[in-house]
Structure 1
Amino acid sequence: MSWFKRVMGLEAPLPKSTAASVSSPLGLRSGGMLCLDSSLKLLLDGHSYVVLPGDEKVWAVGEIDLGQAMVLRRFYLDDEDYFLQILSNGPLPEDIQDIVLFGYYSATPINSRDELLRLTGPDSKIGLPTYEHEGEVFERQWGTETGQTELTPMDENVVSPDTAYRVKHLSMLYARETGLIDRREFLLFSVEEDEQGNITLTTAVGVTLLSTDINVL
């Protein structure tokens, strides 16, 4: 999304040596080409609302350290509406725990504390055990409260070929079964704050991918 590249552009470019891209167990990297299996679109048709992108270069790479050797990496594509997320606990392909392709649904700039409370506070539906989106019911993945739970804080370090940036997240993840084996659909809400203090509420819808769905050039 254009707002994301604008955020990245707020910082002066770093020397190439300090802006080196982060790789993944699949060999994804900034400048690499992500190619999805051509049969995937037909497989997901009628099961997921995610519209798959064509072959796209990776523009930027984000990394979130979750602790206990677990790392969440996000590969933001040249088509700014998408990012590929990989959860792993090591450098090898067999260390991958989860792969999800996300497409942004919306990005809402937050201009005041009152607006933030209205969208994500106690009177919001975000954080409740279930959330209905586009007629589908998603179940909360984080938190065990019977009512609303707090958003989860995460710090993401993002690197592109000539820029590095940090984004603070307050996030909540939901999921639903699609009816396909090993394929779930996800709904991710995130209050994102850049180093300049700009705040955006993003909504993204994702679907589980398998490593065999992905080819990296």
Structure 2
Amino acid sequence: MGWFKQLMGLSAPNVETPAPAIGPLGLALGKAIQFDPVMSLLLDGKSSVTIPGSQAIWSLGQVDLGQSSWLSRYYMNDEEYWLQVHTTGDVAGQVESVILFNYRSYVTISSEAELRRLAGPSSLIGLPTYTYEGAEYTREWGTEQGQTELVPLSEQVRSSEESYSIEHRSMLYARDTGLTDRRELLLFSVEEDAEGTISLSTSLGISLYTTDITAL
């Protein structure tokens, strides 16, 4: 167990669960996703999330949340974008939410002191509110009045070339955009890959309707 896992109290990754050939909404490795071009016009002035054109799915991440609840994460050829689909009942079961994320930053962490400063007790991550790019977001996870702990998630990732695991400690924030059922999400994730590399990623997302995307 690496120093990150010792520091954060993480257990070993779950046994890998094979992903179905076809996932929720007909998404799968090797397929492409077409986003409704109207989304860009709809979000103009409401959100800074960028809607891409058609994107090929390069790799698939799967998170078992327990109690028959799953996150499927589709990483695009253009590494600035990834799509998350939350399902219940089965990996390809009832769709509960769809979020398109833009990667905003990715920082490699080289020491415990840097980790504590960027995403630990010395940081603002985990507080009830967080201001990012001039907008205020409200914490989605945790009920503490002060700073709360990051949430552990174990992700199994596979592409056409390889399979590997990533351990996450994450915190999610959200704000209303003024559009019906479309919230903007801010996700921080401290990640450790199979080689022991530690990083902090920041992603900004927008909630989508299932009709906003088409599997090609």
1:159-178 aligned within 5 A: 159-178=158-177
How does the TM-score come out when normalised to structure 2?
Answer: 0.89
Deviations 1:57-104 (Å, cap 9, x if unpaired)?
Answer: 000000000000000010000000111000000359871111000000
TM-score (norm 1): 0.88
Instruction: Name structure 1 gaps, 5 residues minimum.
Output: 1-17
- Matched with 1:216 is 215
Q: Which consecutive unaligned segments of at least 5 residues does structure 2 have?
A: 1-16
The count of residues paired between Structure 1 and Structure 2 equals 200
Q: 1:21 to 1:69 in 2, by over 3 A?
A: closer
Q: Residues 29 and 126 from structure 1, CA distance in 2 versus in 1: closer, same or farther, beyond 3 angstroms? A: same
Distance 1:173 1:211, change over 3 A: same
Identical-pair percentage: 50
Bigger mean CA deviation after superposition, 93-102 or 35-44? 93-102
Report the counterpart of residue 7 of structure 1 in structure 2.
none
**Alpha-carbon spacing, 1:196–1:211, altered in 2? closer, same or farther (3 Å):** same
Task: For 1:210, give the aligned amino acid.
Answer: Y
> 3-state SS of the aligned residue for 2:26?
coil
Q: Does the Cα contact within 8 Å between 2:22 and 2:92 map onto a contact in 1?
A: no
Q: How does 1:63-212 map to 2 (within 5 A)?
A: 63-91=62-90, 95-212=94-211
The equivalent residue for 1:11 is: none
Paired with 1:87 and 1:37, the residues of 2 have a C-alpha distance of: 20
Q: Give the aligned residue type for 1:183.
A: R
* Structure 2 Cα separation of the partners of residues 73 and 19 of structure 1: 12
Q: Is the 8 A contact 2:37 2:53 kept in 1?
A: no
Assess if the C-alpha contact under 8 Å between 2:69 and 2:90 holds in 1: no
Measured in 2, the distance between the counterparts of 1:171 and 1:25 equals 23
Q: Residue type matched to 1:196 in 2?
A: E
SS in 1 for 2:116: helix
Match in the other structure for 1:15: none
Structure 1 residue 110: deviation in Å? 0.2
Alpha-carbon distance in structure 2 between the residues aligned to 1:72 and 1:92:
8
Query: Which residue matches 2:44?
Result: 45
Q: Which residue pairs with 1:9 in the alignment?
A: none
Structure 1: distance between partners of 2:19 and 2:130: 39
The CA distance in 2 between the partners of 1:92 and 1:167, in whole Å, is: 18
